[in-house]
Structure formats: C-alpha cells, structure tokens
Amino acid sequence: MTKIKDLVNQNYLVLTDTNLLENTYDGIYATDLLSQAIHAAKHKQALITIIANLNTVAVAMMMELSLIIISSHKEVSQKIIDKANEEHITIISTKLHTHEVIIDMYQRGLI
C-alpha cells in the first residue's frame, strides 16, 4: 500500500481535502472508459483517467478506490470535488498525460 501523499509533487495538484492524503492505494488502473473500470479495476487501486465527471466519483465509490488522478489537465468542477470530499476520495489533477503518469509513478517506485 502506498500513501497518496507520496505521489504529490510539482506535477500533481490536490483538488480535494488534504487530510485525505494519508489514505492509501494499492496499484493503479488507467482507462477512459468507466464501464471498463467497473469491470477490471481492483478494490483499493488508484484510477487514472481524463474523465472528470460525477460518474468517475461514482465508479470510485463502487470499486472502493481512494484516489482518482485526472490527467491531461482536464478541468474538474467544484461539484465533483465536493462529492469526492464527501465520499473521502482524493482527486489529483495533473498536466501529464495518462501514460506519463504511469511512467512517473513506476520510476518513483509508487506502483
């Protein structure tokens, strides 16, 4: 298990409550099809996606994911941030593309 706070650096902007950074994740799953995430993501993984809507938070809730990384600098509305905070799910935004996030996490030993 990796603490979410270990991921945060100048490339990653925490959008939700910072007290959620103590939460952990165990591996990652990257997809831009939320139905695929429901089918293949494993509980406690981090989800990396460009999809920034309430359905993304709903999938995280259903799959018990504690971290959503929104890649490619996609805008995340305050409504989504508020729902994630309510459900104790961290949302981090990054300008990095999905594959770059995966490479960065791997190189830093976070996956």
Instruction: Record the tokens describing residue 89, joined without a space.
Output: 């799910």
**Whole-number pLDDT of residue 66:** 93
pLDDT band of residue 20 (cuts 50, 70, 90) is very high
In the chain, pLDDT over 90 holds for what percent of residues? 89
Q: Please report, for the domain that includes residue 26, its CATH number.
A: 3.40.1390.20
Beta strand residue intervals within 1-111, DSSP E: 2-3, 12-14, 24-25, 28-30, 46-49, 67-70, 90-94
Average pLDDT for residues 23-47, to the nearest whole number?
92
Q: Look up the domain containing 28 and give its range.
A: 2-107
Exposed/middle/buried for residue 11 (C-beta within 10 Å: 0-12, 13-18, 19+) = middle
In total, how many domains does the chain have?
1
Q: Tell me the C-alpha to C-alpha distance, in Å, between residue 4 and each of 33, 39, 68, 96.
A: 23, 24, 10, 17
Phi, psi (deg, nearest 5) at residue 92: -120, 135
Q: Give the model's confidence band at 67: pLDDT under 50 very low, under 70 low, under 90 confident, else very high.
A: very high
Instruction: Say what the pTM is.
Output: 0.94
Q: What is the mean pLDDT of residues 50-66?
A: 95
Q: Strands 12-14 and 24-25: what pairing?
A: unpaired
- For residue 57, the model assigns a pLDDT of 97
**Average pLDDT of the residues of the chain:** 95
CB 45 within 8 A of CB 25: yes
